[in-house]
Structure 1
């Protein structure tokens, strides 16, 4: 409507409702449920490190593990008492109800929970009648007694008790009366929260919302939600459950978990704060979301997924030229929130779709004001399109693009003049295949010839180039080649096909990626290697060769 004031995207990260950690619990289960992910294994030290990162973020509860189930978790709780100084989060111990036919006070598993040193205990209880009869192999009445007795015993020991109603939504679909009775019994015995679990991860948001409303109306209990992601709906299901009335959400950092993972608690937090106006973190902590996500990936030795909502490297990346033009006018037009709210930044991706607006915004990211450089912008746009048609992919090699941009706009400063390079690959007696490279260049008025062997032609070239430059630029010793990818662009041409090489290089603090394309794989590798070295020396603030062309 003409003249109407358009609402702004949340910019400061502070929702309308004031922060009250008890009004909506944020409960992290990375250290227990998240570690069930295939290929993910954490030492006790790793678990302590993850807990500290979660506390820095400001979550309310951290589930440390199952103290009665394995020595590692028992050690974690022992060390946590002396080493974890949590400022926001409350450490929680997880375990099961007493066994059938045994008093809660005499059950070793319950005793382990009591003695774990936590003020909060979370119990898992069967709420699907089929699991009670076929998995627990006990009667419906005994299962209810197990829940009632264990909750009451731990409450008498001074513990706050949460109950995870396992397989609740599947059980409610088949035997709703029994599932509701489990919730009522747990609440009446003293459970502070009863958590409805979509353990198989197959529910859809409409079902979640309807069932939560039904349970609230039938029991009046304080409810929580715990969703798995097998139907790709875990985050949506969690947010819908909050809208339906739950006041306790569970999930894992980065969505770790068995099979398809758990609800990504970081996405849930961002959704609650920016979409539902629920302040679930202390003021200012939402801006730590990206940092904490990456820090936990580092501890767990996981590769960050660039496409994760809110925290991924591509979450606020723009590629299409039309998008870039609009973003230049008003970033809100193609972004659902201000990236700064979660500690991220808008990124412009350079590709054959790029126009002048994309290049100008990318230059701004790099500290170059291109607003009055129309001719240079036009040259860069044409050059990018020409090179991408030949096989270059600059969105995957931003360091190479920056060098290209500076070359066209300000004149690229070079650190040496290449005379030639050569690689010899030979099979020696005994079957050993050896690679030897020679690089000839001039830098700062001196000619250098360096020869090196390597475990492959690219490694040999890399070493020879470093050896040739080490006198002029000793800082090259701090750069490491950390990734090398080769792709054949047209397999139909067989061994004569064009090859694309992507190199990843690191100085121990940051990584940059460069690219080379050629019919000769070694020539493509050399082009990427030259860019990697040039970019690294520029980052180090080295002086270029004043006579290099």
Structure 2
């Protein structure tokens, strides 16, 4: 079986993305995850550009990696210096890695306008820089920056830069679509020319996503013989991002029959994708192919029915192969078969001919007509099924609440206070609490009242809160839908509320969130 090596640049190129920043500790943790995936190379950063990257190279030496080789990145030496006197190249050597990667200019525009040097001098920079690094590293790669744009502008000069890298002894020439603007035909034409001029020379591919073609362009290069693929997890990178390894690797392995990591490690793709986003505190893209939460989500009744009979009807791969799972979404498009399947996901057994299924379906359609949506609020839906089956428990009774949001001066922020009265097991609890806004104050007051009866509520926290204005009544009279995401150490869940009153909608979602936590606790206790 043909093999392709994976070269991950999340820790360097990925961190050039807007709102994507990593500490040294973050980079080490992510590197260990990528190594566990079985990646071949992990580009740790540009040691000559900032102290953080050098800190990573110092720290990662303390770990024994199982698969990956850490790579230091940099550029060809400055035109006014020699390779031996260039601080950038010296920093790469000082990084102490087994592998070095440097980029050089392939496009005449960059040689003249960015480097401000001659075309011939640029070829010397490539040869001398690679020759210098060859004396210090086991493996040296050359990234031909802007190669495809350079090829279109001056074919012979772009190929001459590759010749300079080959003459200097690079192990692999990586062809780069740095601006991300090339079409698949551009990739094919340039790669074909490289293969004809340099038969047998190992080459790789590095693409950006400015035309939304990075993955496709990468796969075309692999079809033509690329032996190394560069990219980032989740496609993070400058501007519109880099080629997304979360899409490239499954396509290579499951569609093209090309080996790059172990099949078992492919199952870690979604967990690793989510892990890196969590470490960087970046929201996930639910619609991302292969690893997104919605990648294998089915909503229409016809689709769900077909998938129940044969998953290949609406799924291009088995989601478990990339660590994902099939999800049946519940909406007013659903039928009784969907209700049955969703109940099974929660360990509840009902038949699609069961009157309970029809009851849930009718209630569901009525609620969605009011503006509720349960695709992203599965905890609320599970509670709805339990109520229909007579399995729900009332953990507390609301006797009333009041929320005051008071602003005393223009230059001071408002102060929110919530007062709540509830009954638990015949005992009345009356509590007040402050908060950052009325919803937070209400949440604090409710928790304060309940935690003495249900101490395990301290385990949960609200991790996200979203408000959506619904169509219908104009302006501020419109209904709103509130979606709350909660989590504890083992799980996360979402609940929903809808009302003309944002506090009431928030209350509905808050109550469902707390009820679901208590339901989970009781369910776990019964199983134990």
**Same fold, judged at TM 0.5 (above):** yes
TM-score by length of 1: 0.90
Q: Distance in 1 between matches of 2:479 and 2:467?
A: 11
Q: Distance in 2 between matches of 1:91 and 1:531?
A: 47
Aligned length: 523
TM-score by length of 2: 0.94
Aligned to 1:7: none
Q: Distance in 1 between matches of 2:207 and 2:69?
A: 21
Q: Secondary structure at the match of 2:522?
A: coil
Aligned to 1:118: 97
Alignment CA distance shift 1:461-1:77 (3 Å): closer
Aligned to 1:77: 57
Q: CA deviation at 1:433?
A: 4.6
Q: Distance in 2 between matches of 1:136 and 1:372?
A: 70
The answer as to 2:270 corresponding to 1:290 is: yes
Q: Show the 5 A alignment for 1:6-25.
A: 17=1, 23-25=3-5
Give yes or no for contact 2:7–2:43 (8 Å, CA) kept in 1.
yes
Q: CA deviation at 1:427?
A: 5.4
Q: CA deviation at 1:91?
A: 0.7
Alignment CA distance shift 1:480-1:157 (3 Å): closer
The answer as to 2:232 corresponding to 1:252 is: yes
Q: CA deviation at 1:422?
A: 3.4
Aligned to 2:290: 310
Q: Show the 5 A alignment for 1:403-442.
A: 403-426=383-406, 433-442=414-423
The RMSD of aligned alpha carbons is 2.2
Aligned to 1:13: none
The answer as to 2:179 corresponding to 1:229 is: no
Q: Show the 5 A alignment for 1:320-331.
A: 320-331=300-311
Alignment CA distance shift 1:371-1:157 (3 Å): same
Alignment CA distance shift 1:453-1:127 (3 Å): closer
What does the per-residue CA deviation read over 1:57-108, in whole Å, with 9 as the maximum and x for residues that have no partner? 1110011111222222222222222x23211001111111223254323323
Aligned to 2:186: 207
Q: CA deviation at 1:316?
A: 0.9
Give yes or no for contact 1:104–1:150 (8 Å, CA) kept in 2.
yes
Give yes or no for contact 2:399–2:422 (8 Å, CA) kept in 1.
yes
Q: Show the 5 A alignment for 1:134-533.
A: 134-220=113-199, 221-371=201-351, 373-426=353-406, 433-490=414-471, 492-533=473-514
| Structure 1 unaligned spans of 5+ | 1-16, 545-549
Q: Distance in 2 between matches of 1:347 and 1:41?
A: 32
Q: Distance in 1 between matches of 2:52 and 2:414?
A: 46
What does the per-residue CA deviation read over 1:255-296, in whole Å, with 9 as the maximum and x for residues that have no partner? 111100000122111111111111101341101101111111
Alignment CA distance shift 1:274-1:418 (3 Å): same
Aligned to 2:71: 92
| Structure 2 unaligned spans of 5+ | none
Deviates most, 158-167 or 471-480: 471-480
Q: Distance in 2 between matches of 1:142 and 1:341?
A: 50
Greater RCO (Cα-Cα under 8 Å, separation 6 or more): 1
Q: 1:63 aligns with which of 43, 50, 57?
A: 43
Q: Distance in 2 between matches of 1:437 and 1:96?
A: 59
The answer as to 2:121 corresponding to 1:133 is: no
Q: Secondary structure at the match of 2:486?
A: strand
Give yes or no for contact 1:254–1:293 (8 Å, CA) kept in 2.
yes
Give yes or no for contact 2:105–2:122 (8 Å, CA) kept in 1.
yes
Q: Distance in 1 between matches of 2:48 and 2:444?
A: 53
Q: CA deviation at 1:185?
A: 2.0
Give yes or no for contact 1:416–1:441 (8 Å, CA) kept in 2.
yes
